[in-house]
């Protein structure tokens, strides 16, 4: 009797545990809430605008490869709520990432989303690192899929001789991206040198050199 009551209690509480651990963005309370990106109102997400059209749910920006002639040889084109206001409150978004041969999407995290990538073209070496500092890597090619768990540091590099591209899906309307090197060496104001020399066990000169590469663009 006592045991079955306990089982009943657990089964009643389980959905509460699951929803608090599984959900990413908050759940919808209405059909749509197209982001009013111009609103000054500060809240969790964006306020809904009233006069909406099909174009609020449309974004053509992932159709073509982006230029990759930058420092890292890789370009992320987001299709998050900022580009696609109809995503507001829907808890999903996408991106396209293009890589030149040798191109790197440097180690970064998405604080609000798990990312799943589908390789459109080419081949990539990808990896993520758990909080136990275990690295999981894989080579993925056209048509294959890899997942980067929410919040964990990850990267992709095109070690091939031809360009590569992926489409990424996220379980957040605005996954957020924090690049490790930019955050630590390119913040504004800058993190004090002695924090970084101690953290990385190197000298001030080395820290200053890295900082010079990541100085925020004015
Ligand atoms: C709603 O938006 C459409 C297209 O942007 C515009 O033509 C129309 O005048 C707007 N209607 C109202 C009531 O604001
Ligand atoms: C990248 O290439 C485009 C087109 O070839 C050019 O307009 C642009 O200035 C280049 N950007 C850099 C950073 O070299």
Domain ranges of the chain: 54-177, 186-214
What is the number of the ligand 2 atom nearest to the C-alpha of 70? 13
Q: What is the pLDDT of residue 2?
A: 58
In this predicted structure, the answer to whether residue 24 has a pLDDT above a threshold of 50 is yes
**Cβ contact 123:160 at 8 Å:** yes
Region of poorest pLDDT, from 24-33, 79-88, 187-196: 24-33
Lowest mean pLDDT among 26-35, 109-118, 168-177, 209-218: 209-218
Q: Are 86 and 78 in contact (CB under 8 A)?
A: no
* Nearest-CA residue for atom 9 of ligand 2: 69
Instruction: Tell me the CATH number for domain 54-177.
Output: 2.60.120.10
| Beta strands, E only, the chain | 74-79, 93-99, 104-109, 115-121, 123-129, 135-141, 145-148, 153-157, 164-170, 178-179
Does the structure show a pLDDT above 90 at 3? no
Q: Is 51 in the pocket of ligand 1 (CB under 6 A)?
A: yes
User: β-strands 123-129, 135-141: how paired?
Assistant: antiparallel
Q: Is the pLDDT of residue 17 over 60?
A: no
| Separate counts of helices (H) and strands (E) for the chain | 4, 10
Residue of the nearest CA to atom 14 in ligand 1?
Answer: 51
């Amino acid at each position: 009797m006592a045991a079955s009551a306990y089982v009943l209690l657990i089964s009643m509480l389980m959905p509460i545990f699951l929803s608090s651990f599984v959900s990413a963005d908050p759940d919808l309370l209405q059909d749509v809430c197209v982001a009013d990106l111009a609103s000054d109102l500060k809240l969790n997400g964006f306020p809904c605008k009233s006069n909406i059209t099909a174009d609020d749910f449309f974004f053509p920006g992932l159709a073509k490869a982006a230029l990759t002639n930058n420092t890292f040889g890789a370009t992320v084109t987001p299709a998050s709520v900022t580009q696609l206001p109809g995503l507001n409150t829907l808890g999903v978004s996408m991106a396209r990432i293009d890589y030149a041969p040798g191109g790197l999407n440097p180690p970064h995290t998405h604080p609000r989303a798990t990312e799943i990538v589908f390789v459109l073209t080419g081949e990539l070496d990808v990896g993520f690192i758990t909080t136990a500092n275990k690295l999981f890597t894989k080579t993925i090619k056209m048509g294959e899929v890899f997942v980067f768990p929410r919040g964990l540091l990850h990267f992709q590099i095109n070690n091939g001789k031809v360009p590569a591209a992926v489409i990424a899906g996220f379980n957040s309307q605005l996954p957020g991206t924090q690049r490790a090197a930019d955050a630590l060496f390119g913040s504004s104001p800058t993190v004090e040198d002695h924090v970084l020399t101690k953290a990385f066990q190197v000298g001030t000169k080395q820290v200053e050199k890295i900082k010079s590469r990541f100085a925020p663009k004015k």
